[in-house]
Amino acid sequence: MKRIVAAFAASILLFAQPAAAQSILRDAETEAMFKDMSASIIKAAGLSTRDVQVVLINDDSINAFVVGGQTVYVHSGLIQAADNANQVQGVIAHEIGHIADGHVALADAGTKPAMGITLLSMVLGVAAIAAGSGEAGAGIMAAGQQAGLGKYLAFTRTQEASADAAGARYLNTAGVSGKGMISFFKKLQQQEYGYGLANIDPFMQSHPLSGERIANLTNDLQTAPAWNAKPDAALEERFKRVKAKLQGYVATPERTLAEYPATDNSVYAHYARAYAYHKAGYPDKADAEAAALIGAKPDDPYFQEIQGQILLEAGRPRDALAPLRAATAGTGNNPLIATTFGHALIATEDKANYAEAVKVLRIAVNRDNENPFAWYQLGTVYELTGDTARAALATAEQASMNGDHRTAAQSASYALANIPANTTDWIRAQDIAMAAQNDMEDNPKKYKRR
């Protein structure tokens, strides 16, 4: 009976959960673009640009979602499918609508009634089975599951329509054209036509059908002054670059080289091929593509970044230092680029570079303390310079971030015993040790030694 309850409950709740296997893609240029293209929309929603983040997910499906907090997750497949930056802004505006309206926090209002219908049908179905009507009991439970799911999907469609309306308001308030939102829905509508609209049950969808969404939004968007706002040419250029490099990174090299053949000498093609060749293990060809990018724009920090990354990962860390140092400076010490620079300094195995590596990596983790690789590199250089206490603190930071609270507690305790009391690092070690210890005490079975 308990297994049946769990199975029916899971059938509803799975519709509210994102895929667990999705991975985050970190890229300095992409994150800067997301930040700039979403800033005015976030402000229009009455939210803070310091709190709302737009994060790229490595998933080739066309999707974006929020799961709590104030983070918008955008699939790489959506970037690849979008025709322009304005379409992505329309999607982000919709997701910010979910955040501003508190839809994730209100999810129980949809799941509880649906669960109630499912559980009631289960009770009735089990009673019928017990009375000897096995087929009737199974039918009651199946019908209840269908009714419960339908109830939940009706709730989510209402939320999606609300997020559409809110997103349209934010675009209009921000002075961003809603053309991208409408054109992207039309793109989704074409997919529905391709599937066969007659085969789609509108009452068993988590979102309203795209045609309905377009009809609901068109008037509000077209009558707003923002509708005819000129596209941001600089933002559009940045989007094309990000789209090309993303193609080179996530697609197979064969597909990228087919889409951006050697005869294409555009910046976008060089960008895509640089990543494709690098990914495929052709460092000389990747280096040549990076050199073409530098030749086109010698002071572009993101072109300097890819050149330095290619050199570093080809086993030439000394050659990577100049472009990575320039890229770090050119982006105002962007933490992702600075981490790569710090890694290159360490990889030279030259003790003269270790002090600079410590400085660069400390700045990186201060600006982005949720970067495990940066903490790992900082711990490495501390160990190389004989500062075992701070190496332990860096290990504690990394372990805490990865949920390994036993290692976090042990490393933080060592740091506490060897770092001068009441300093910033000592206080941080104390915080980690206490948090890790509390988690272990609250979840003893999780940390039971085997």
- pLDDT exceeds 60 at position 5: no
pLDDT at 189 over 50: yes
Query: How confident is the model at residue 29, as a pLDDT?
Result: 98
Count other C-beta atoms under 10 Å from residue 367's C-beta. Answer: 15
Q: Which amino acid is at 443?
A: N
**53-57, 86-90, 117-121, 312-316, range with the lowest pLDDT:** 117-121
In DSSP terms, which residues pair with 56 in a beta bridge? 25, 74
For 11-15, 154-158, 259-263, which range has the lowest pLDDT when averaged over its residues?
A: 11-15
State both tokens at 444.
């003893």
Report the pLDDT value the prediction gives residue 57, as an integer from 0 to 100.
Answer: 94
Give this prediction's pTM: 0.81
Q: How confident is the model at residue 142 (pLDDT cuts 50, 70, 90)?
A: low
295-315 tens-digit pLDDT: 999 999 999 999 999 999 999
Neighbours of 321 (CB within 10 A): 21
Over residues 358-381, the pLDDT tens digits come to: 999 999 999 998 899 999 999 999
What is the average pLDDT value for the chain, to the nearest integer? Answer: 84
Instruction: Give whole-number Cα distances, 429 to 148, 216, 361, 397, in Å.
Output: 49, 54, 18, 9
Structure tokens, 28: 């300095």
Residue 45 in contact with residue 163, Cβ under 8 Å? Answer: no
Q: What is the pLDDT of residue 212?
A: 84
